Chain A
Amino acid sequence: MDFSVSKKNLYSCLSHFQSVVEKRNTIPILSNVRIKTFESCIEITATDLALEISEKIDAKINLSGELTVPSQLLFDIVRKAPDNSEIDLREEKDSGQVFIFFGDSKFSIGYLSTADFPVMENEDFDNKMLINAKDLSYLINNCKFSMGIDESRQYLNGIYLHQTLDNLSSVATDGHRLSRCQTKITEKLNDFKGIIIPKKAVFEISKLLEGFDKKVELKISKSKIQLSIDNLIITSKLLNASFPDYESVIPKNNNLIMKTDCNAFSETIDRVSTVSLEKFRTVKLDISNDLCVVSSFGQEKSAGTEQIKVKYTGPNININFNAKYILDVLNVLKAGEVSLTFSENTAPTILKSENSPNSLYLIMQMRS
C-alpha cells in the first residue's frame, strides 16, 4: 500500500475517530484504525464492537492495499505535521512497518493485518429516510441530558427514537425526569417500533452533526442504526431493551401554570442554589400571586433566597426540586418565556417554552 493525502483532510478525518476508539483495550486491534485504498480515495474505519465509524477521503493511490495502525499514534503524528503538508504512507511488507513521510520527516509504525479487524455485519435496513441534520441534531441535543446511568435498567441509558403520527420523537429519562422532543417528517416509515440509541452513539452523532446543515440519511434495522453524514458513515448497535410506556407518566391534569422569563429564572436558581451542597443542589419554590420565591439551604445555617416576578394565579404552592434538573432544561430552552405546569398532588411538573413548542420536559419534585 502506498498513497499520499493532504494533512488537512487526514487530520480532520482522524479526529472523528478518537473518542470511538477505546483507550484501554483487551483486544489490541481495537486500538487500531483500518485503512483501505479505493480508486482515488482511502477509507478509514474505527470500531469498539458496538459502534463503527468509517470515512472516505480523497487520496492519490500509488499502490492499493489495506492494513491497520494504532489510532492514537497515527493521530498524534499527523496532528504535528505542518498544516499544508502532503502526507505519504508507504507499507513495507518485509519489516511489517508503515512509513509516514512529510516534509523532511520520516516516521515508522508497526502495523497489523486487517484479517482480524472486526467489521460489523452488513444488515438489511428496513427503514431509510432523509432527514435535515438540524432536525436530527435538535432531537438528540435537546433531550440527551436526561439520559440516566443505570446498570439494572438499560433502557434509561440512551435515547428512545420512535414515530408518533407524522412526527419523529426522541425521549430520554433517568427515572427522575424526562425529556421529549418532536420533529415533523414527511417520509412514511414502515412498521417502525421505536429504537433506543445507546449513550455513546448519542454523543458521537451529536458531535458529528455539529455545524453540518445538509440532509443526512438515516437507516434503521431491528438491531442497528446507521447514519450517513457526507462521506462518513456511523453505525451503532441498539440497546436491546424496551422503553416503558412514558406517555402514561405525562400528567394530563396539571392546571396550575406559572410563566416566567427563561434566562432570569435560570440565573435566579443558579444564584440561590450556590449555598447548597454542590452534589445535591435543592431549591424550594414558594409560588403565590405573580411572585415566586426561590430559596435554598445549605450547611451550617447558610441559606439563599431571591424573588422573581412570574405570571401566576391560583392557590399558593410550595415545591422542591433538584436545581440541576431545572437548570438543565432552562439551558436548552435558552430564551423566551418558560411555563411550569404544576398539579396539586405529587404529579410531575411540566416545563415548556413558546420558543420550542415541540419540546416537553417533566421533572419529579422532591420531598423534604
Chain B
Amino acid sequence: MNEIKELPQELINKISAGEVIERPSSVVKELVENSIDAKSSIIDIYIRNGGKTEIRVSDNGVGINSKDVKLAFKRHATSKLSDHNLQKISTLGFRGEALSSIASISRMKIYTSISDIADGKSFEVNSGLIGELKPSPRKIGTTIEVNELFYTTPARLKFLKTENYETLLIKQCIQKLALSNPEIEFNFYSNEKKIISSLASNNPNSNKKLEHRIVSLFGSEFFKNLIWFNEKIDCYNFYGFIGLPTFHHSNSAKQFTFVNKRPIHDRYLYNSIKAAYKDFLSYDRFPQVVLFINSPLEDVDINVHPTKNEVRFKNMQNLRSLLVRSIKKGLESAGHRSSTINTFKTLDIINKNKNNLNFMTKKVEDPLLSNNYFKEANSKNSTEEICQDYPLGLAKSQFHETYIISQTKNGIVIIDQHAAHERIVYEKLKKNYNQNNLETQILLIPEIIEVISEELDILLNHRDFLARYSLLIEKFSNESIIVREVPLILINCNISLLMKDIISDLIEIGDSQILETNINKICSSMACHGSIRAGRQMYQDEMNKLLREMESTPFSGQCNHGRPTYIELNLNQIESLFGRK
C-alpha cells in the first residue's frame, strides 16, 4: 500500500496555480489588480504572442519593500488583509495567492522601487525560486515580467487557444478593469502594437468620468445607445449605463457588471438584467450594460472562488428585485429613444447601393419620389416651426401605407406605423390592467396539481406573492396543491403548466415573472389586434398624433420584440450621402 505523504510546497503551488491562473488573461487580471491595489495612476500592459511568451505589467504604484520581497512570493502572503477581517474586503486581492501561483509556473522578473530616489531593486523568480536582489534604479512603482507562462505545466499550455483569441480575452479583461477604474490611465500593447490607450479623466462627476472611459474603450457610437442611471435604494447604490432596448447583441459579451468596483461574472446578475429587459427584448437577445452595484462590504462575500469572478449576496432576492426595478426605471427615462445602430444599418444599405450607379438612377425614377405616389401633406404648414421642436418632428408623408416620414429640426425620421402604434396600445393596456385591480375567476372545479414536497414548501412560502396576482392556492395533500382562483385574464391558460413554470423559477431564482410575462403576452396579442396595420392610409393629423403619443409613451422606441419603431437620419448623414460634406 502507498504511504500518505504531505505534498511538497512546490507542488502545492502548482496545483493552486491551476485554479487561479487558467490562461494568460488570468495573469494579466491578477497583476493589474495588484497595480490597482497599489494605488497606481498609470498602468501599462505589454504582451507578446497572446501572453504566452511574455506579459509585462508596469505601474507607478507604491512598490514592494525590499524586505518584503521574499514574503510576497510565499503562498497566502499579502499586504492587503491587514486586520484579519474577511467580512470587510475593500481591496481587489486578499487571498495572497496570485504572485506565488504565477511564479510557480513561469519565469518572472520584478523591478520595483518604493521611492523616486535611486533605490530600486530587481530580481528573478524561476518556477518559484527567488533569485538574488540586484540594485536597479527606477521610478516609484513596480514592473513585473512574466515569461514562458505554463512552462512547468505543459498540459495547460496545450489547452490554450490561438494567439488572437488569448489576446482578445486579455483585452476584455483590461476593458473590465478599466471601466471600474476610470481615474487610472490604461495602456495596452500587443506585439508592440497599441490596442488600448485610455487616459484618466479628471472630471469630478462620476457619470462623466465613466462616459469618458466608455467612449475611449468602445467608441462614441456605443456610448450614444446607452442611458445613464443612478438609483440609491436601501443600502445599495446601482448606477452605470444601460443600453437602449433596441441596442442588443446575440450574446452577453458586452454586459459588464461590477460589484463594489470588482468585475463580476455572475449568472444571477445576468438573469436579473435579462428580467429587467424582458418586456422589450426577445429571449435570445442580450442588452448591453455597464452596471455598477455598490453594497455594504459586509453584505457581499467575494471569497467564493479563487478567481473572484463570483459573489454571494446576503439577500440575493431583495437585491434582484431592487436591481430590476431600478433598471426599469432607468429605461423608462429613455422614453421613445431608439438605437442609432439602426441609422447606421440604413446608411450602410444606401452607401452600398451608391456604388451601383445604374441602380441609383433607376431609384430616382422610382414612383416613390413622383408626386402621384408620394402622398404629400400640406407642404406649407403654419405649425411647421412649432412641430419641429418635437423630438420626432412633424409628419411629412406616408409611403407604401406602412411607413411615416417626418421632418425634425435636424434630419428626418422614418417610423413603422404598426410597430409604433402596437407598442402604444400595449403600454396603455398594461397600465389599464394594472390599475383595474386584477379580476379573479373563482374555480367551480378547483384544479389539483401534483408536486413534490420540496416544491410544495416553496409554493406555500410564496402564497402571498401568488395572491398578489390573484392566483389562490392551498395545500391539498403532502404532494399536491389545489388552485382555487385564477386571474380572469389567464382563464384560458394551462394552469398546471403555468404552475410548473412558476415552481422552477422560484427554485432557480427565488422569484418568478412568469405570471407577469403571461399577462403581458395576452396584452401584447390584444395590442396587435387593436393597433393600426401596415397598409392603412393615414392622414397627417393621425400621423402627427401618433408621433406625439410615441414621445409621451415610455418604451415606445421599440416594439414588443425589441425591433425599432423608428429610424432617425440626421442632416449631416444625409448630406454626406450626397457628397456635400
Within 270-288 of A, Cβ neighbours of B (below 8 Å) are at 277, 279-280, 282
Over the window 484-500 of chain B, the binary record of Cβ atoms lying under 8 Å from chain A Cβ atoms (1 yes, 0 no) is 01001101101111000
Say yes or no: is B253 at the interface (Cβ < 8 Å to chain A). Answer: no
Say yes or no: is B445 at the interface (Cβ < 8 Å to chain A). Answer: yes
Contacts of A280 in B (CB 8 A): 439, 488-489
Say yes or no: is A176 at the interface (Cβ < 8 Å to chain B). Answer: yes
Within 442-496 of B, Cβ neighbours of A (below 8 Å) are at 442-445, 447, 470, 485, 488-489, 491-492, 494-496
Say yes or no: is B576 at the interface (Cβ < 8 Å to chain A). Answer: no
Say yes or no: is B432 at the interface (Cβ < 8 Å to chain A). Answer: yes
Given A152-B495, A320-B439, 13 more A-B residue pairs with CB atoms under 8 Å apart are A151-B494, A175-B444, A175-B447, A176-B441, A176-B491, A177-B444, A178-B444, A299-B432, A363-B444, A364-B443, A366-B439, A367-B439, A368-B437
B497–A152 contact, CB under 8 A? yes
**Chain B: CB-nearest residue to A178:** B444
Q: Which of B442, B494, B495 contacts A366 (CB 8 A)?
A: B442
Show the binding face of B for A, using Cβ within 8 Å: 432, 436-437, 439-445, 447, 470, 485, 488-489, 491-492, 494-497, 526
Contacts of A367 in B (CB 8 A): 439-440, 442, 470, 485
Minimum Cβ distance to chain B for residue A250 (Å): 10
Q: CA–CA, A362 to B444, complex, Å?
A: 8
Q: CA–CA, A249 to B439, complex, Å?
A: 22
| 10 A-B residue pairs with CB within 8 Å | A175-B443, A246-B445, A277-B526, A322-B488, A364-B444, A366-B439, A366-B440, A367-B470, A367-B485, A368-B437
Over the window 133-168 of chain A, the binary record of Cβ atoms lying under 8 Å from chain B Cβ atoms (1 yes, 0 no) is 000000000000000011111000000000000000
Say yes or no: is A242 at the interface (Cβ < 8 Å to chain B). Answer: no
Return the 5 tightest CB-CB contacts between A and B, nearest first. A364-B444, A367-B440, A152-B496, A368-B439, A175-B445
A300–B432 contact, CB under 8 A? yes
Say yes or no: is A260 at the interface (Cβ < 8 Å to chain B). Answer: no
A173–B444 contact, CB under 8 A? yes
Most buried by B among A346, A367, A368: A367
Contacts of A297 in B (CB 8 A): 436
Q: CA–CA, A261 to B12, complex, Å?
A: 91
Say yes or no: is A357 at the interface (Cβ < 8 Å to chain B). Answer: no
Given known contacts A152-B494, A280-B488, A249 and B445 CB-to-CB distance under 8 angstroms = yes
Q: CA–CA, A152 to B62, complex, Å?
A: 68
Q: CA–CA, A152 to B498, complex, Å?
A: 11
Contacts of A177 in B (CB 8 A): 444
Within 320-335 of A, Cβ neighbours of B (below 8 Å) are at 320, 322
Minimum Cβ distance to chain B for residue A131 (Å): 28
Q: CA–CA, A235 to B262, complex, Å?
A: 71
Within 242-283 of A, Cβ neighbours of B (below 8 Å) are at 244, 246, 249, 277, 279-280, 282
Q: CA–CA, A322 to B441, complex, Å?
A: 8
Minimum Cβ distance to chain B for residue A151 (Å): 5
**Chain A: CB-nearest residue to B445:** A175
Q: CA–CA, A297 to B497, complex, Å?
A: 31
Say yes or no: is A198 at the interface (Cβ < 8 Å to chain B). Answer: no
Q: CA–CA, A121 to B444, complex, Å?
A: 38
Contacts of B485 in A (CB 8 A): 367
Q: CA–CA, A346 to B440, complex, Å?
A: 13
Contacts of A365 in B (CB 8 A): 442
Q: How many A-B residue pairs have CB under 8 A?
A: 62
B440–A279 contact, CB under 8 A? no
| Interface of A: prevailing SS | loop
Within 164-208 of A, Cβ neighbours of B (below 8 Å) are at 173, 175-178
Q: Which of A150, A178, A246, A320 contacts B494 (CB 8 A)?
A: A150
Contacts of B440 in A (CB 8 A): 366-368
Most buried by B among A149, A150, A151, A177: A150
**Chain A: CB-nearest residue to B436:** A297
Over the window 346-368 of chain A, the binary record of Cβ atoms lying under 8 Å from chain B Cβ atoms (1 yes, 0 no) is 10100000000000001111111
A249–B497 contact, CB under 8 A? no
Most buried by A among B445, B488, B492: B445
Given known contacts A282-B488, A366-B439, A153 and B447 CB-to-CB distance under 8 angstroms = yes
**Chain A: CB-nearest residue to B439:** A368
Contacts of B491 in A (CB 8 A): 176
Contacts of A366 in B (CB 8 A): 439-442, 488
Contacts of B488 in A (CB 8 A): 280, 282, 322, 366
Most buried by B among A178, A279, A320, A346: A279
Contacts of B526 in A (CB 8 A): 277, 279
Q: CA–CA, A177 to B442, complex, Å?
A: 10
**Chain A: CB-nearest residue to B499:** A152
Q: CA–CA, A362 to B442, complex, Å?
A: 12
Q: CA–CA, A297 to B439, complex, Å?
A: 12
Minimum Cβ distance to chain B for residue A154 (Å): 12
Q: CA–CA, A152 to B526, complex, Å?
A: 25
B444–A348 contact, CB under 8 A? yes
Minimum Cβ distance to chain A for residue B431 (Å): 10
Most buried by A among B436, B444, B485, B526: B444
Over the window 295-326 of chain A, the binary record of Cβ atoms lying under 8 Å from chain B Cβ atoms (1 yes, 0 no) is 00101100000000000000000001010000
Contacts of A175 in B (CB 8 A): 443-445, 447
Contacts of B442 in A (CB 8 A): 346, 364-367
Contacts of B432 in A (CB 8 A): 299-300
Contacts of A176 in B (CB 8 A): 441, 443-444, 491
**Chain B: CB-nearest residue to A321:** B441
Contacts of B441 in A (CB 8 A): 176, 322, 364, 366
Contacts of B496 in A (CB 8 A): 152
Q: Which of A173, A277, A282, A368 contacts B445 (CB 8 A)?
A: A173
Minimum Cβ distance to chain A for residue B495 (Å): 7
